[in-house]
A and B are shown apart, each in its own frame.
Chain A
Amino acid sequence: MTTAAALPREDSFLQRLSTSLYLRPRLLLLMLLGPPLLWLGVIYLGSLFALLAQSFFAVDEFSGVVVQEFSLANWTGFVTNPANGDIVLRTFLMALVVTIAAALIAFPVAYYMVRFAGIRTKAVMYLGVMLPLWSSYLVRVYSWKLILAKEGIVSWVMAQLHLTWLLDAALATPVVGGPSLSTSYIGTFLVFTYIWLPFMILPVVAALERVPGSVIEASGDLGADPGQTFRKVIFPLAFPGVVAGSIFTFSLTLGDYIIPGIIGSSTPFLGQAVYSQQGVAGNIPLAAAFTVVPIVIMGIYLTLAKRLGAFDAL
């Protein structure tokens, strides 16, 4: 004597649409992922490949017009000019040193934030790390120019501390030195490190957050002193975070053209070369060749990082 209970009826179009999507999760996924994938594929990667393809064109020397035919002339010219090698090496070394410095500064900061700071301190530190990212990049770089200038804050503080000799000694160092901090590689390095530091701290914090306290205790429990625990457990587990951060600091330094233009010696970096070839000289093929360089370097870098096992613990 049971009467079949009727299911609530689906009247509206939206209700029927919901049901039909619920029953076809793949269609829903396609609808959600399709537009962004198309954007990424066509607009982003497409333009990148178009640029790379241009590196195989060449500029007609008389007319200055880009000849749209496949040729290796652009690449031959790029490789055989020793000045280009200097630019690549200079930028690569700067990116490397900035990355190492950022990692060395970021690790203790991140470790303190994760292991020792209370909730409030941690929030303040997060804010401190993020805050610079919310203000204008240019303003920060120019303010560093004031800090590092010959009559700037750093030299004043050094004078007050009777440490002017130290600053002078640093500036007298061959290659990296210069007339003042703001016109030397030391200055460029300081500003790069400052600007990209948050991009190192945040992934390292995220990596350290994922290391359970009990794992660190277990290491000590099994006889490892704090130094051994750091080397055998904490650092290997946080290493993927350092690698993630270094991908940011390294590639951002490789590509940046503003900081070395404002602070440092007047020798060009990769980003400046791309900018001037494309914008000022109108030599798109050569600019494209310069663009390939950081992509190749990052490719090698990621391969090495993978070999090092940086992604094993992910």
Chain B
Amino acid sequence: MNATGAPAVAFDRVSRTFGEVRAVDDVSFRVEDGEFFSMLGPSGSGKTTCLRLIAGFEQPSSGHIQVHGVNVGGVPPYRRDVNTVFQDYALFPHMNVGENVEYGLMIRKVPKAERRRQAEEMLAMVKLDGLYARRPGQLSGGQRQRVALARALINRPRVLLLDEPLGALDLKLRETMQAEIKAIQRHLGITFVYVTHDQGEALAMSDRLAVFNQGRIEQIGAPAEVYDHPASVFVAGFVGQTNLLDGYLAQRIGGFPATFSIRPERIRVAGEEGGFGFDIASIHGRIAAITYLGATSRLNVQVDGGELIVVEPNVDGGVAPPDRVVGAEVRLTIDRKHIQAVTDAS
């Protein structure tokens, strides 16, 4: 039934409308088998609806969805070979941790002893050994997250869907869980489709990511590709920080009238002597504000026609060069390969 070599998930011109709202608007993409694929976007951009379309909780208004080469139109969630980790974990409150994890096996009438063995194995994988008999209500947010992960993985799905799984966790725990989820994905070798609004998370975890905006995909690519070569103004602004130039300043730095994106860390504060050449754009300015950010400092530099944000590492034990003071005149240089023309499609 499964065509070999088919992508894990394929959307072919899929739309999903809710009344007047086009939540997903003519979207096509493919997720390769074994890939960690993120769907990144602000809330209401259609990423979660896409996930729910794969899971089967929603049916497309038009277009086709294939999972491992099989058209899943009209197939209910319980007959799909995909499992979901829900944003609110959705653990069954009337069952203990073990029963939650075993649920999929219980439904498939796997014998009790075998269920228990597999559940313990899954709990060990998510580092929850010994919590089999606990109630979900007795667990911390991070532990619940792990139970949800174990429960979704016990059916050995070919595609695992994760809907903002780390959204409710604090920063430190989120970073730990990112690494663990990534490690589990590598270990199992199955396809992960990961929905998040956190661009840092998407960059850190994904093999490829799709940036969603207003029901459409603005760009699909590897993290570095999307970050360094944003296809649109929206992507440049949503993935990482950026300087968006247009009008006079764009003409002045980019050399032709267009909209440009320059990442703040690509701009150098150069002395008067260094950093000349055909490949280098340079502009004079005055430091309007300095913000200390720990590992880096952010400079707001007033230039002719606008303001540029520059981020530079704090390398010398926090001792800034003498000209890094508010009001100082500085010369900024930018390698032209980092000046990225972007379309203003949306």
Interface on A for B, CB 8 Å cutoff? 212, 214-215, 217-225, 228, 232-233, 236-237, 312-313
Q: Is the CB of B76 within 8 A of A223?
A: no
The residues of B that contact A220 with a CB separation of less than 8 Å are 56-57, 76-78
The residues of A that contact B78 with a CB separation of less than 8 Å are 220-225
Q: Is the CB of B103 within 8 A of A222?
A: yes
CA A312 to CA B136, docked complex, whole Å:
13
Q: Is the CB of B83 within 8 A of A222?
A: yes
| Contact A221-B93, Cβ < 8 Å, known A212-B88, A228-B107 | no
B92-108 interface code vs A (CB 8 A; 1 in, 0 out): 11100000000110111
Q: In this assembly, does B86 line the interface, its C-beta being within 8 Å of a C-beta of chain A? A: yes
Residue of B nearest to A223 (CB): B107
Q: Is the CB of B94 within 8 A of A214?
A: no
Q: In this assembly, does B125 line the interface, its C-beta being within 8 Å of a C-beta of chain A? A: no
The residues of A that contact B77 with a CB separation of less than 8 Å are 217, 220-221
| Contact A312-B94, Cβ < 8 Å, known A214-B88, A220-B77 | yes
Q: Is the CB of A237 within 8 A of B107?
A: no
The residues of B that contact A214 with a CB separation of less than 8 Å are 86-88, 90
Contact residues of A: prevailing secondary structure: helix
Residue of B nearest to A222 (CB): B104
Residue of A nearest to B137 (CB): A313
CA A100 to CA B66, docked complex, whole Å:
46
CA A224 to CA B93, docked complex, whole Å:
17
By Cβ-Cβ distance, the 7 closest A-B pairs, closest first, are A214-B90, A218-B90, A222-B104, A220-B77, A223-B107, A221-B84, A224-B107
Interface on B for A, CB 8 Å cutoff? 55-57, 76-78, 82-84, 86-88, 90-94, 103-104, 106-108, 151-152, 155
Q: Is the CB of B104 within 8 A of A223?
A: yes
Contacting residue for A222 out of B76, B87, B93, B155, CB 8 A:
B155
Residue of A nearest to B99 (CB): A232
The residues of B that contact A221 with a CB separation of less than 8 Å are 55-57, 77-78, 82-84, 152
The residues of A that contact B155 with a CB separation of less than 8 Å are 222-223
CA A120 to CA B257, docked complex, whole Å:
54
CA A217 to CA B78, docked complex, whole Å:
9
Besides the known contacts A214-B87, A221-B82, A225-B78, 17 further A-B residue pairs in the complex with CB atoms under 8 A apart? A215-B90, A218-B92, A221-B55, A221-B152, A222-B78, A222-B103, A222-B107, A222-B152, A223-B78, A223-B104, A224-B103, A225-B76, A233-B94, A237-B94, A312-B94, A313-B93, A313-B94
Residue of B nearest to A211 (CB): B93
CA A223 to CA B107, docked complex, whole Å:
7
Of listed A215, A217, A218, residue having the most chain B CB within 10 A? A218
Question: Smallest CB–CB gap between B145 and chain A, Å?
Answer: 14
| Contact A215-B92, Cβ < 8 Å, known A221-B77, A223-B108, A224-B78 | yes
CA A87 to CA B108, docked complex, whole Å:
49
Contacting residue for B93 out of A223, A225, A237, CB 8 A:
A237
> Can you list 9 pairs linking A and B with CB atoms under 8 Å apart?
A212-B88, A218-B86, A219-B92, A220-B57, A221-B55, A221-B57, A222-B103, A222-B155, A236-B94
Residue of B nearest to A224 (CB): B107
CA A282 to CA B92, docked complex, whole Å:
55
Question: Smallest CB–CB gap between A219 and chain B, Å?
Answer: 7
Question: Smallest CB–CB gap between A242 and chain B, Å?
Answer: 14
Question: Smallest CB–CB gap between A313 and chain B, Å?
Answer: 5
CA A232 to CA B94, docked complex, whole Å:
10
The residues of A that contact B91 with a CB separation of less than 8 Å are 215, 218
The residues of B that contact A233 with a CB separation of less than 8 Å are 92, 94
CA A212 to CA B93, docked complex, whole Å:
10
The residues of A that contact B94 with a CB separation of less than 8 Å are 233, 236-237, 312-313
The residues of B that contact A212 with a CB separation of less than 8 Å are 88, 90
Question: Smallest CB–CB gap between A118 and chain B, Å?
Answer: 12
The residues of A that contact B88 with a CB separation of less than 8 Å are 212, 214
Question: Smallest CB–CB gap between B80 and chain A, Å?
Answer: 8
Question: Smallest CB–CB gap between B157 and chain A, Å?
Answer: 9
CA A280 to CA B84, docked complex, whole Å:
67
Residue of B nearest to A210 (CB): B93
The residues of A that contact B92 with a CB separation of less than 8 Å are 215, 218-219, 233
The residues of B that contact A219 with a CB separation of less than 8 Å are 92, 103
Question: Smallest CB–CB gap between B109 and chain A, Å?
Answer: 11
Residue of A nearest to B87 (CB): A214
CA A118 to CA B234, docked complex, whole Å:
36
CA A237 to CA B90, docked complex, whole Å:
13
The residues of B that contact A232 with a CB separation of less than 8 Å are 103, 106-107
